[in-house]
Amino acid sequence: MNVFLVQIGVFFSFLIAILGVCLILYLIFCNEDVNSPKPDSKKCASLLAVVGSGGHTKEILSLIEHLGENYQPRYYIMANTDKMSEDKVQTLESSRQNEFKIYKIPRSREVKQSWITTVLSTLNASLHSFPLVFKIRPDIILCNGPGTCIPVCFAGILLKMFYGVKVIYVESICRVETLSLSGKILYHFADTLIVQWPQLQQKYPKSLYIGRIV
């Protein structure tokens, strides 16, 4: 059986299983009226960025560094074992006057982790991600490929039932010929999927190519 189809099946299985739980968590953690405007809603859009590790961290922070001041407050989600990325976020934001906050969640998948155990670890990450995203209620979710972004993005997709969040996925510049697994999944669900090579846009016509952005 095609490995990718198996992987897709795994993700959809756990998403369906926790859908009811997530709806309950929404009611628990979101007590405010979702239709009420946020402060300065006409001027600013709150941003939730999923920070990976290594090259993913460098790319996502490069993107955020070039964003205007209208994208705030800023919220960062990263794996609970990723101390290096936390330090880099602190360094970036310490030079600005923006409001920001960092949240930690369990990793969805460790390097070389088996796909069978990935089901449980992704479920664990989802149970942390969904109530967190529902509570933050960002205007934009921005990510660029780490496995940690999958439960966060699906939480945002579910949140769209109640609140106008946009999920934007930027594929890593190192992906020249094919999308990453995260990209292949979110290609069908993200509001916008941006690629950095024209041949990728030709292969995945629903994606957006605007040149090199990192």
CA dist 189 and 168 (Å) reads 10
Cβ 11 vs Cβ 150: under 8 Å: yes
Q: Is residue 214 part of a domain?
A: no
pLDDT value of position 32 = 46
Q: Is residue 52 part of a domain?
A: yes
Count: domains in the chain: 1
CA-wise closest residue to 85 among 111, 62, 54: 54
Say which range, 28-32, 49-53, 178-182, 194-198, has the weakest mean pLDDT. Answer: 28-32
Domain that holds residue 7: 3-209
Q: Is residue 10 part of a domain?
A: yes
C-alpha pair distances (Å), 53 with each of 149, 162, 188, 197:
12, 31, 24, 22
CA dist 48 and 96 (Å) reads 17
| Percent of the chain clearing pLDDT 90 (strictly above) | 43
Q: Is residue 170 part of a domain?
A: yes
- Mean pLDDT in the chain? 81
For the segment 5-49, what is each residue's pLDDT rounded down to a tens digit? 555 555 555 555 555 555 555 555 554 444 434 445 457 899 999
pLDDT beyond 50 at 107: yes
- CATH code assigned at 16: 3.40.50.2000
- The label of the residue with tokens 């409001």 reads 99
Say which range, 30-39, 76-85, 106-115, has the weakest mean pLDDT. Answer: 30-39
pLDDT beyond 50 at 53: yes
Structure tokens at 169: 């996925």
Say which range, 108-117, 178-187, 193-202, has the weakest mean pLDDT. Answer: 108-117
pLDDT value of position 199 = 94
Q: Is residue 76 part of a domain?
A: yes
Residue bearing the bigger pLDDT, 118 or 193: 193
Mean pLDDT, residues 115-119: 65
